[in-house]
Structure 1
Amino acid sequence: MVFDLVAVAFWVMLPAYVPNNIAVLAGGGAPIDGGRTMGGRRLLGDGKTWRGTAVGTLGGVALAQLLNYVEPVVADAIGVPVPAFPLAAAVGLALGAMLGDVGASFVKRRTGRKRGAAFPVVDQLDFVVGALACAALFAPGWFLATFTLPVVAVVVVLTPVLHVATNGIAYVLGLKDEPY
C-alpha cells in the first residue's frame, strides 16, 4: 500500500519535477520581468527567463508523453497501475511547476531575499502548488481522479526530500551555486 502510493505520487509528479531542472540547463536570455523593479527590488530577477520557462514547460510535457508511452511496461514491472497523462494535464503540471517557481521568486524579492537565497518550505513546495493548481484547472477530471488525498500527502512529504537530495547532487556536480 505505501509502495503503491509512493510509486503513483512520484509518477504523476515527474512532469512537474523535471521542468525547473531543464530550465536551469536551458535558461539564459531575456528575463521575464524585463529588468523592472517594484519598491527598489527586481520583480523576479535574471534567473527567471522566457527561454528557461518555455523549455522547462516543453520538457515536462515531452516527459509526460514519454511516460504515456512506457506506462504499460512500468505498471507491469512495478505491479502498480499508474495513470496516463492527457495533454492538458501534462501542460498543467509542467507549466504550473514553472509558474509556481516564478511566483516564489516574486515573493522572495518582496521579502528582500537575493537570487539563490534559501527560503525553506517555499523552495521545496512552490512548484508543487503551481503544478497542482494548473493541473486542476487544465484537467479537472483527471486531477480529481489522480490526486487523491493520500497521493497529495505523499507528494507533500516526498517532494522536500527529493528537492534537498537533487539540489545537493547538482551542487556537488557544479550545476548549482548553492546546495539548496
Structure 2
Amino acid sequence: MASRSAQSLASSKRSAAPATRARSGRASRVLTLVSALLLGSAGLVASAPAVARDTQHFLPIMPVMASTAASQRLGKDVAFFFGDKQPYERIEKRGWARVNPKTNATNKSDAEACRWVFLSALRELQEKAREYGANAVINIRSDYDKVPYSSSEKYECHAGNIVAGVALRGDLVILHPKN
C-alpha cells in the first residue's frame, strides 16, 4: 500500500508540473504582449510630428552691412539697395534673382544666426549679379514663403531650434552714372 501511495504522490507531482508550466507560459505570453504594446506606443509617440519653432524676426540691415564680416565677405564690386530706393536715373535691368539660404542655428542666438544667413543671402545675390554682368542689386526685399516684405531698414528672418533662413529677391542691374 505504501508503494501505491508513493506512486500516487509521484503521479500527482507529475501532473502538477505541466499545470505550473502552462500557467508560467501564459504569464510569459501576457508579459510579451504587454511589452510589445508598450514598445509600439513608444514608437508612435516618437514618430509623431514634433512642433518645430519658427520665430519670425524683422532685424535691422545697417548693423549687418556696416560689420567687418560684410566687408570681408561681400567686397565692393556689387552694390546693394534695399526697399524701393532708386539710386540712379539710368538703370539697365539684367534680370532678377531669388535666394533662400539656410544656416545652422544650433548653439547660436537667433540674432547671430540671422546675421550670418542674411550675409549668405547677399553673397548669393552678388554671385547672381556677377553672372548677369550686373554691378548692383536693387529693390531687395524679403520673400520668405513667397510673401513679400519690402523695407529699406529691416529684413525678415525665420529662426528655429536647428535652422535659420532668409529669403531675398532683387533686380540685377547695371547702374550708369548720372549725366
Q: Given the two structures, how large is their TM-score scaled by the length of structure 1?
A: 0.29
Greater RCO (CA < 8 Å, at least 6 residues apart)? 2
Q: Kindly indicate which of the two structures has a greater share of residues assigned to helix.
A: 1
Q: Given the two structures, how large is their TM-score scaled by the length of structure 2?
A: 0.29
Q: Kindly indicate which of the two structures has a greater share of residues assigned to strand.
A: 2
